[in-house]
Amino acid sequence: MRLAFTKMHGCGNNYIYFNCFDQTIPEPEALSIRLSEPHFGIGGDGIILISPSDKADAQMRIFNADGSEGKMCGNGIRCVGKYLYDNGMVGERTTVTIDTLSGVKTLELFTENGKMVTARVDMGVAILAPRNIPAAFDGEHVIDAPLVVDEKVYHITCVSMGNPHCVVFTDEKVATLDLARIGPKFEHNPLFPERVNTEFVNVNPDGSLQMRVWERGSGETWACGTGACAVGVAAVLNGHAQKNQDITVHLRGGDLTIRYTDETVFMTGAATTVFEGEIEL
């Protein structure tokens, strides 16, 4: 069996995309583990399936590098929008809808010379109630709450943007953190029954945010769109930023712009096609 694929990334968050309008992908969980491996596979943070939907222009399913299925991927959804537009699957429309396990998301596409360059995604309402994140904390929200991890006290803010996030503002330089050691201790903490994505953040003098992320199921990635949204929301909740204003989040793979309003969270960023190919299974 030969499968056609497209390698794409949003700010370095790179996935292997399969057009499932034209082909069927067998055992996506196992396939994601196999293909994400950089030495014996294609290499990436996982695979994303682009399929027909009866309530949107397309459906997106995300499988992480460990085979687990994710509910939402902010960088991935921009790439899906680019794939649909660049391949003529939505005509010349610059407003498209994508069906995800976190609901239908709307994208505004910005194009040049017939190709999508950037997209603004309506990511939906930020979820703060611990029971809905889920996170095993009491109360209506978790904002700047102390959490002991590996005998050290961190102050965390918990947000769900379709995926659970634990945001840590720190004075330590995030660039030098030993994320491979610290990240799994957050991911597998029993307070997070579905595991958690963890963002470590510095507030820069100009008000922008420097972020590194440990993603459940994938480890450290160069970017996380839902994570950047969670960081923007957490920055407002902790007094580091204002609602209804653009917040620049610097990730290892590039910048995202986040705007937190009373109604929703908007994320704007680029999407890039790396190459297309076929793989024989």
Give me the domains of the chain, ranges plus CATH numbers. 2-124+269-280 (3.10.310.10), 130-263 (3.10.310.10)
The per-residue b/e assignment along 167-201, b for 16 or more CB within 10 angstroms, e otherwise, is bbbeeeebeebebeebbeebbebebbeebbbbbbb
Mean pLDDT by 10 residues, the chain (281 residues): 97 97 96 96 97 98 96 96 98 98 97 97 98 97 97 97 97 97 97 98 98 96 96 98 98 97 98 97 89
Q: Is 11 part of the annotated catalytic residue set? A: no
pLDDT at 19 (0 to 100): 98
Say if residues 35 and 49 touch (Cβ distance below 8 Å).
Answer: no
Q: 226, 225, 229, 270: which is closest to 81 by C-alpha?
A: 270
Report the Cα–Cα distance between both ends of the chain, in Å, rounded.
5
State how far the alpha carbon of 260 is from the alpha carbons of 11, 78, 133, 264, in Å: 20, 18, 18, 6
Please give the torsion angle defined by the CA atoms of residues 15, 127, 231 and 215, in that order, rounded to the nearest 10 degrees.
Answer: -40
Catalytic choice (11, 73, 166, 229):
73
Cα torsion for 88, 90, 96, 98, to the nearest 10°? -90
Residue 159 confidence (pLDDT): 98
For this structure, is 79 an active site residue? no
Catalytic residue among 79, 158, 166, 224: 224
**Collapsed DSSP state (helix, strand, coil) of residue 213:** strand
